[in-house]
């Protein structure tokens, strides 16, 4: 694949669907665009108007455009673009004149040559003119989530789920609250809020045994008849200087919907942060897409930072969004530069608003799911608001053996792409699953807090063909169960009437005594392996804290975050817990707070409380 000027590519990419709508075929739209322009009327996106909402009255109908699937746009390549430059100071530029209505479109398209300097491009060719103003409604898309139910241990003593290291929900919730409104219930995935924070778990000593399991039990802060079981898993860490060579493909959405400082502007700054940390042996490629897709940089050394940053600087938004074509091209490029034993990853940066080409949700997921077999992972970086497709971003990363982050600030970009570079880029284990068996002689009921869309069947735990989550170097995973002990009041499920139907799991089980509360099992595969390995840890009753105040700061802070997430998502099980109560817990358990993330959380809770009181 030949490289070419990014402005020429972006203009060509953003023009395809527009010209197709005017009666010009895909081949004509690339090869026969007249070189004129500069006097079109620019149509900017309207600001989104949001209605005030509170925790009591927040649900509303989400409008999502039903776009008729269009014919897939052509792939832009260097051979398809005329080179109008005669010397090194000129650039190949594609432009277009004022296009009449389709009914009055003249059949003839005039070809011309130009030597317009790249530096003058923005003033000569405002290709943002093809941006279509968005509807004055909130079109954000979230997967519907119902809180996990309470289970009776004698009927269902085993809980199984895939791990989740995504953190996108937390920064997205933060964006809502900092913007002056409470998030939609479905925007809140409690486990992603909890896993946003570092809990300083003990680290494993060797990558040969890459995980260490930590457990703790104490009374629940929102229910005086129940306990919380805190399970923490810490992965083996690797300094970023010791990471294997990296083959990264930046897949960048430059469509019209990205025309915002908080979208394309922040995206540019974010990619420059990770570029700054690349080494000479690393390889960077850049693919952009709008109505069509094309290669901007191919296999560039990490030492060529000036060239990479210059290419990033040229990104400008315009046109519709054929994300499916861009994903295909990015994976193709990653395969071309595949590094055996190295990091091979596509980083998709977009608002997720795919509106032409392969827009079918299941088709996109299926495409990514097939591509993961090549050993190439997918990280999704979400940007923007108003039309943000959280469900697609989260599911693409899940099926692509990757991770999902929402970038609402440059500080968040630095956290994900610099501070946590090893975790974001380098996978230490795949298909990681957790299974917890509760002792029916001790525990009456339990419910898993969060992980609703990560649930697995009991038999899936030992089935190595079942896909599960990936863990990066140094990643930690936290899971919380609310449990009710035997003999306590406040059970949510009445006991069965007939004794013969109770306790059959206990009979003949030597470990079914009061010494253990539960048994935690962890399965994982090392990279490149197809057979899983097993780790286990019993949860002893003797280690249970008598009061919430006696618990560790990590336990109390995780409980505060979990309480916050549950309140925002409806508070079905949090009883009398208030945001003021969450704030107090957060303040009391901040600990050292090296990076200030816990203090930020407390301030976020205060702001959410103020927003709720306005209702």
The 10s digit of each residue's pLDDT in 388-406 is 999 999 999 999 999 999 9
Which pLDDT score, from 0 to 100, does residue 322 have? 78
Q: Tell me if 324 is assigned to some domain.
A: yes
pLDDT tens-digit map of 304-349: 999 999 999 999 998 877 788 899 999 999 999 999 999 999 999 9
The model's confidence at residue 513, banded by pLDDT at 50, 70 and 90, is confident
Residue 526 has pLDDT above 90, yes or no: yes
Here the tokens at position 294 are 């094309």
Which pLDDT score, from 0 to 100, does residue 27 have? 36
Percent of the chain whose predicted confidence (pLDDT) is above 90:
65
**Both 390 and 447 in a single domain?**
no
Separation CA 300–CA 309 (nearest Å): 11
Q: Tell me if 57 is assigned to some domain.
A: yes
Give the total residue count for the chain.
615
Q: Chain-wide mean pLDDT for the chain?
A: 81
Which pLDDT score, from 0 to 100, does residue 431 have? 97
Lowest mean pLDDT among 106-120, 144-158, 270-284, 451-465: 106-120
**Both 489 and 404 in a single domain?**
no
**Both 419 and 431 in a single domain?**
no
**Both 309 and 234 in a single domain?**
no
**Both 249 and 397 in a single domain?**
yes
Question: What integer is the mean pLDDT of 103-108?
Answer: 34
Domain boundary among 424, 458, 478: 424
Which pLDDT score, from 0 to 100, does residue 293 have? 85
Which pLDDT score, from 0 to 100, does residue 74 have? 31
> Edge-to-edge strand order for the sheet containing 227-235?
151-152, 443-449, 476-485, 227-235, 211-219
Which pLDDT score, from 0 to 100, does residue 53 have? 56
Residue 423 has pLDDT above 70, yes or no: yes
Residue 505 has pLDDT above 60, yes or no: no
Residue 468 has pLDDT above 60, yes or no: yes
Q: Tell me if 180 is assigned to some domain.
A: yes
pLDDT tens-digit map of 347-357: 999 999 886 55
Domain boundary among 366, 391, 424: 424
Range of the domain at 21: 6-135+241-424
Residue 10 has pLDDT above 60, yes or no: no
pLDDT tens-digit map of 17-40: 344 434 444 333 333 323 233 333
**Both 438 and 382 in a single domain?**
no
Lowest mean pLDDT among 46-55, 221-230, 271-280, 591-600: 46-55
Q: Tell me if 603 is assigned to some domain.
A: yes
Do 295 and 286 contact (CB within 8 A), yes or no? yes
Question: What integer is the mean pLDDT of 544-556?
Answer: 97
Q: Tell me if 568 is assigned to some domain.
A: yes
The model's confidence at residue 206, banded by pLDDT at 50, 70 and 90, is confident
Residue 131 has pLDDT above 80, yes or no: no
Q: Could you give the dihedral angle defined by the CA atoms of residues 403, 408, 411 and 416, in that order, rounded to the nearest 10 degrees?
A: 0
**Both 533 and 416 in a single domain?**
no
pLDDT tens-digit map of 574-614: 998 999 999 999 999 999 999 999 999 999 999 999 999 87
Cβ contacts of residue 437 below 8 Å, gap of 6+?
157, 158, 518, 519, 521
Question: What integer is the mean pLDDT of 478-491?
Answer: 90
**Both 228 and 322 in a single domain?**
no
Burial class (CB in 10 A: 0-12, 13-18, 19+), 499: exposed
- Is the full-model pTM beyond 0.75? yes
Query: Quick one: residue 145, left, alpha or beta (phi over 0 = left, psi -120 to 50 = alpha)?
Result: beta
Number of domains in the chain: 2
Question: What integer is the mean pLDDT of 99-103?
Answer: 35
Cβ contacts of residue 442 below 8 Å, gap of 6+?
485, 486, 514, 516, 517, 541
CATH of the domain at 568: 2.60.40.1230
The model's confidence at residue 150, banded by pLDDT at 50, 70 and 90, is very high
Residue 103 has pLDDT above 70, yes or no: no
Domain boundary among 399, 424, 449: 424
Which pLDDT score, from 0 to 100, does residue 260 have? 94
The model's confidence at residue 12, banded by pLDDT at 50, 70 and 90, is low
**Both 32 and 121 in a single domain?**
yes
CATH of the domain at 19: 3.40.50.410
* Phi, psi dihedral angles at 33 (to 5 degrees): -85, 125
Q: Tell me if 606 is assigned to some domain.
A: yes
> Which residue is it, tokens 């299941």?
362
Q: Tell me if 262 is assigned to some domain.
A: yes
Lowest mean pLDDT among 26-35, 316-325, 442-451, 503-512: 26-35
Q: Tell me if 185 is assigned to some domain.
A: yes
- Which of 55-64, 125-134, 260-269 is modeled with the greatest confidence? 260-269
Half-sphere exposure of 613 (CA within 13 A, CB side): 9
Reduce the DSSP state of residue 301 to 3 states and report it.
strand
Which pLDDT score, from 0 to 100, does residue 122 have? 32
**Both 12 and 127 in a single domain?**
yes
**Both 327 and 216 in a single domain?**
no
* Phi, psi dihedral angles at 422 (to 5 degrees): -60, -45
The model's confidence at residue 363, banded by pLDDT at 50, 70 and 90, is confident
Which pLDDT score, from 0 to 100, does residue 340 have? 96
**Both 303 and 376 in a single domain?**
yes
The model's confidence at residue 205, banded by pLDDT at 50, 70 and 90, is confident
Separation CA 58–CA 103 (nearest Å): 45
């Amino acid at each position: 694949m030949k490289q070419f000027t990014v402005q020429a590519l972006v203009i060509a990419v953003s023009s395809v669907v527009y010209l197709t709508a005017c009666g010009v075929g895909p081949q004509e739209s690339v090869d026969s665009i007249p070189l004129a322009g500069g006097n079109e009327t620019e149509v900017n996106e309207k600001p989104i108007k949001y209605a005030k909402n509170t925790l009591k009255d927040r649900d509303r109908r989400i409008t999502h455009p039903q776009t008729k699937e269009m014919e897939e746009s052509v792939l832009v390549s260097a051979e398809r673009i005329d080179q109008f430059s005669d010397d090194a100071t000129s650039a190949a530029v594609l432009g277009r004149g004022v296009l009449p209505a389709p009914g009055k479109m003249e059949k003839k398209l005039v070809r011309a040559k130009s030597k317009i300097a790249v530096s003058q491009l923005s003033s000569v060719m405002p290709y943002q003119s093809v941006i279509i103003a968005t509807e004055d409604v909130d079109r954000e898309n979230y997967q519907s989530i119902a809180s996990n139910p309470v289970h009776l241990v004698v009927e269902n003593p085993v809980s199984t789920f895939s791990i989740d290291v995504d953190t996108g929900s937390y920064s997205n919730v933060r964006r809502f609250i900092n913007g002056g409104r409470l998030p939609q219930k479905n925007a809140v995935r409690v486990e992603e809020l909890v896993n946003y924070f570092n809990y300083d778990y003990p680290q494993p000593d060797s990558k040969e045994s890459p995980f260490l399991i930590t457990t703790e039990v104490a009374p629940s802060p929102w229910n005086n008849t129940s306990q919380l079981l805190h399970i923490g898993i810490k992965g083996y860490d690797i300094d970023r200087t010791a990471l294997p060579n990296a083959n990264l493909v930046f897949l960048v959405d430059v469509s019209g919907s990205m025309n915002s400082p908080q979208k394309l502007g922040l995206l540019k700054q974010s990619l420059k942060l990770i570029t700054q940390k690349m080494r000479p042996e690393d390889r960077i490629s850049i693919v952009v897409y709008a109505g069509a897709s094309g290669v901007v940089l191919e296999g560039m050394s990490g030492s060529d930072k000036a060239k990479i940053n210059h290419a990033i600087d040229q990104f400008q938004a315009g046109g519709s969004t054929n994300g499916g074509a861009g994903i295909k091209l990015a994976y193709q490029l990653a395969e071309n530069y595949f590094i055996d034993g190295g990091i091979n990853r596509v980083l998709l940066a977009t608002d997720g608003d795919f509106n032409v080409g392969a827009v079918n949700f299941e088709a996109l997921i299926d495409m990514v799911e097939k591509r993961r077999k090549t050993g190439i992972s997918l990280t999704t970086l979400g940007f923007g608001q108003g039309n943000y497709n959280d469900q697609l971003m989260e599911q693409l990363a899940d099926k692509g053996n990757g991770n999902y982050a929402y970038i609402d600030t440059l500080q968040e970009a630095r956290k994900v792409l610099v501070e946590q570079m090893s975790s974001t880029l380098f996978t230490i284990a795949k298909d990681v699953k957790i299974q917890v068996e509760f002792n029916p002689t001790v525990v009456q009921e339990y419910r898993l807090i969060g992980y609703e869309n990560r649930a697995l069947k009991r038999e899936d735990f030992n089935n190595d063909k079942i896909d599960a989550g990936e863990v990066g170097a140094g990643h930690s995973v936290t899971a919380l169960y609310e449990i009710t002990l035997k003999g306590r009041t406040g059970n949510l499920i009445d006991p069965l009437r007939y004794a013969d139907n109770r306790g059959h799991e206990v009979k003949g089980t030597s470990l079914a005594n009061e010494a253990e509360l539960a048994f935690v099992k962890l399965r994982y595969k090392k990279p490149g392996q197809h057979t899983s390995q097993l780790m286990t840890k019993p949860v002893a009753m003797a280690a249970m804290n008598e009061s919430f105040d006696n618990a560790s700061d990590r336990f109390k802070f995780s409980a505060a975050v979990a309480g916050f997430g549950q309140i925002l998502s409806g508070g079905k099980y949090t009883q009398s817990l208030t945001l003021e109560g969450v704030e107090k817990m957060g303040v009391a358990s901040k600990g050292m707070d090296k990076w200030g993330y816990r203090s930020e959380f407390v301030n976020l809770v205060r702001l959410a409380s103020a927003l709720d009181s306005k209702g």
